[in-house]
Structure 1
Amino acid sequence: MSKTTEQVRKSLAKRYRAERRFKAFGVGAIGFGLLALVLLFTDIIGKGHSAFFETYVKMEVTFDQDTLDISDVRDEEQLNFANYDGVIRNALREEFPSASGRQEKRELYSLISTGAGYELRDLLKDDPSLMGKSITLWLLADDDVDVYVKSAQDDRLESRLSDNQKSWIESLEAQDRVELQWNQSLFTHGDSREPELAGIWGAVTGSFFTMLVTLILSFPIGVAAAIYLEEFAPKNKFTDFIEVNINNLAAVPSIIFGLLGLAVIIGLFGLPRSVPVVGGIVLTLMTLPTIIISSRAAIKAVPPSIREAAMGLGASKMQVVLHHVLPLALPGMLTGAIIGMAQALGETAPLLMIGMVAFIVDVPGGPLDPSTVLPVQIYLWADSPEQSFVALTSAAIMVLLSFLIAMNTLAVFLRKRLERRW
């Protein structure tokens, strides 16, 4: 008897050790995943936070009429095509008169962004009385200057600026005429080849129109398909074939849907490339399986007693579905739709195939205007050689992650708020 008890005790001890090892492996896996997530967010935030601010230089600018080549300040065409760069160059030469020679002057002029002239144009349009006056302005600096100002003291040694440019910037810093200001253009401009002028608003607008088309098409079609398959379709080999293929489509790589859109929607129907309508149709095809599967699961969760009670009171099959089953299953359907939309928002491969990788400067005004989307914008900036685009890429990733987290949080909230327990 004691021998048997000893064997049982050893067996229990072995099983307990195995359970502890299993728990340790689980805790280790969770810890490793959390550590990887923390490292990822730390890297993205560490590289991207600087992109939310940009460098400005304080200069005294004179709106000289001869330099601007403007004879009538009320003529909008003259205001649009005036020589604002010449005004900025005059201000730089007055600030650093020691700059001589063609090369030094070129280095001096490159301290200020080419987009600073647009700021002067807007100021003169708003207040024509500025003509002939000298005012002090904060002018947007070039991206190389921006990187230099934001770098640590040791990293400044590897800057692309010349020695003359470094001395000029350090002179301005000593006079407190260089500062970081909120990067408003990041949230108001479209893409640009100049990092200090590039923004994500065009990509955000393109994503909005693309998601709008996707939602309008995918949600009604997905819900209708789920209702038909779950409530009305006869159980035969044909419907079994459809159900199997819906489940298989959920696992198809997204680039396949891009090839389908390229071959059929663009090639066969002749729709234009790089427009949100085409992107929305392609993403609709990709998200439909997710919405159908989640909607069918929500319909199955409605107890049969609800249907039986409604039919017992004389309701038709359609009335049972529309008045009882659909309202009760709607929270689960909405959750599935939001998760599907979040998946579509982060897709890049299918949109690359239909041409939304084009360089688009203008902010789209509708779903038929050429545009890009946030994931593709991130792809484009990540492939750019300028160092400033590294920070812009990380900043765009932060914005995209914010949207994805918000959408998933909304899905969880709706599920907790609206679901019913039976």
Structure 2
Amino acid sequence: MKTQYPQGKQITFILAIILNLTCISDMERASNFPVKDVCNDFGNIDPKTIPPESTYFDEKFKRRLVFISSYQTVPYDLLTNAIQIKDEKTLNEFEESYASLCLKGRNDKSPIYEKIEFVKERKRNLSQGLLKGINQDEIINVEIQDTESIEKLYNGLRYFFNFRAGKKEANSLLRKFIESHFNNIEYKYYNSLEFDGDEFKFKESIDELHKIKNTKKYIYLRIMPYQLSDLFEWSEYDFKRQSYSFIMYNEPFRFQDWMKEDRFEMQKSFSVQIPQIEAKEFKRSWIERDQSQDHYERDGNFEYYEKQRYLIAEILFKVENGFEDKEAWGDCSNYSIYWEKPPIEVDCKLREDLRRKKLNLVPVRYRFENIRENKVFHNY
């Protein structure tokens, strides 16, 4: 019987099957020898401590992978030599791997983050550009790069700052900054689960919050959103001034129960200068999303939609005191604090000391980059 393949193609087909079976075999073998205790030195692990039987070469991604558990892998180079990372994509991959394995999704940095070549170069560029002339000790750095947080930006940056920042997995310094702006920090801590009765630990926590409140004056935000409208509400193009402007989303349907926890506001919109010749494209693929390179991927029997992230947004906000709550209730029978009149069935005391200050975010400098088109807009 004649084969349907020419002889050369038949040999190639057979070799492909053999290679695929070999790869599967290597992967199964490696999954039986996962490497343990990688978090303390994640990114800078001595290669000699990684058994060869725990690794395999992935033909699809052309990378050597290491099994960390029976189902989770990390690229060998990220586990052992992350200091040499030199691009944004690889840095994001490294940080997401670390957060997933060692922080259970929390958005904190790895121990070697500050030593990574790309991070050091970026800091040098910041000190000469967007953060030039700003005292670094007065800045809170908020870098959002994990996919989960970016997916939850559908309610805008206001939602992230107010809701996500209150969660344990969010940026810890931003969370403490928000906590520090309660008018009576001591009262809040005494009436929270974070106070365990240790007076010395309590005093250290209070001192830390007071220091943050008194010294931090700026928030530096760095994020890779899918589109700039995920962060802010944008105006139509102003042909006379050749600019777009943005402000925080403020529609009631965008923030519901957590609206009473809202601590941030932008009292005025902020202009972004875009030449008229580029205004249409800026709206099409920066403010809105260019989906031309999004595509479906198939992994075994599953298909998933892969959205490319090609934008980097960097914004420096100056933080100013805004309006205060008109009233506040504490010592409530249900252990809650209210900033509007509590339900009639709840007994509370009027506590003026619990009135919170609104924090007004004033954009000072911006830098928007499209890494796919190698194009940047900034105002410094």
Q: Give the TM-score range, shorter chain.
A: under 0.3
Higher strand share: 2
TM-score by length of structure 1 reads 0.19
**Higher RCO by CA contacts (8 Å cutoff, separation 6 or greater):** 1
Tell me which structure has the larger Cα radius of gyration.
1
Q: TM-score, normalised by structure 2?
A: 0.21
